[in-house]
Chains A and B, each alone.
Chain A
Amino acid sequence: QVQLQQWGAGLLKPSETLSLTCAVYSGSFSSFCWGWIRQPPGKGLEWIGEVNHGGSTNYNPSLKSRVTISVDTSRNQFSLKLTSVTAADTAVYYCARVSVAATFYMDVWGLGTTVTVSS
């Protein structure tokens, strides 16, 4: 059964860069895309973007100017970088496996990492 383990800095100051990594265990890495979703405190889910094993990406237009999602196939890992963070970026960030079907959708999720932006 595939498992996703994620990690990264949990406390940032405004203007810093958020950096998270997600490792994939016990499953095919190349047959899927890999994505990130976030959830501000008390609010709903927001899709951030996704990457395939070849490194091609697709981002939420509202975040595109600040987001980079990359993949390391040698380690079965993928990463999220979000630049120039503000308090509005405070959220739980989830990594997820993205199944490639008629619609790309997230079928396995990591446990989430809480990221707080505060001066």
Chain B
Amino acid sequence: SYELTQPPSVSVSPGQTARITCSGDALPKKYAYWYQQKSGQAPVLVIYEDSKRPSGIPERFSGSSSGTMATLTISGAQVEDEADYYCYSTDSSGNHRVFGGGTDLTVL
């Protein structure tokens, strides 16, 4: 079965840039999406189609994708950005949806 691989944790100081990666064999042909999940809450979409930002998401959140790796970048991370972040995409057939294992972002 298809898998997306993320680092389990990333830690930055407030104001620094946080980068969370997601690797998958189908990413050269399939879009990556990113979800933020704060403790006890439902996930929220923060990036879609590799690099687009939904309305209401702060500009410090950006996304990119190159080859088999997609990256979520939080420029000037704030304490309120502490959360689990999940990448999401589909396998090469487009039929099966997959989440990465999630990355715990610590900002302190």
A46 partner residues in chain B, CB cutoff 8 A: 99
Q: Residues of B within 8 Å of A, CB-based: how many? A: 26
* Closest partner residue, chain A, to B32 (CB atom): A103
Q: Which 5 A-B pairs have the closest CB atoms?
A: A47-B97, A109-B42, A45-B99, A44-B102, A103-B31
Q: Does A34 contact B (CB under 8 A)?
A: no
- From B14-22, B66-74, B75-83, B85-93, give the one contacting chain A: B85-93
A interface residue count range (under 10 / 10 to 19 / 20 to 34 / 35 or more): 20 to 34
- B37: shortest Cβ distance to chain A, in Å? 8
Interface residues of A in 33-72 (CB under 8 A from B): 37, 44-47, 50, 58, 60-62
Query: Which chain A residue lies CB-closest to B97?
Result: A47
With beta carbons under 8 angstroms apart, the residue of A37, A101, A103, A110 that contacts B89 is A103
> Are A109 and B43 touching (Cβ within 8 A)?
yes
Residues of A within 8 A of B (CB): 37, 44-47, 50, 58, 60-62, 94, 101-107, 109-112
Restricting to B13-55, which residues have a CB under 8 Å from any CB of A? 30-31, 33, 35, 37, 42-45, 48-49, 54
Please state if B42 and A110 are interface contacts (CB–CB under 8 Å).
Answer: yes
Specify which of A45, A58, A105 is in contact with B95 (CB 8 Å cutoff): A58
Chain B residue with Cβ nearest A35? B97
Q: Which residues of A contact B94 (CB under 8 A)?
A: 103
Q: Hey, which chain A residues are within 8 Å of B1, CB to CB?
A: 61-62
Select A104's contact among B42, B44, B86, B97, beta carbons within 8 Å: B97
A44 near B88 with CB under 8 A, answer no
Known: A44-B102, A46-B99, A60-B96. A107 touches B30 (CB 8 A): no
Q: Which residues of B contact A58 (CB under 8 A)?
A: 95-96
| Nearest A-chain residue to B54, judged by Cβ | A107
Hey, which chain A residues are within 8 Å of B31, CB to CB? 102-103, 105
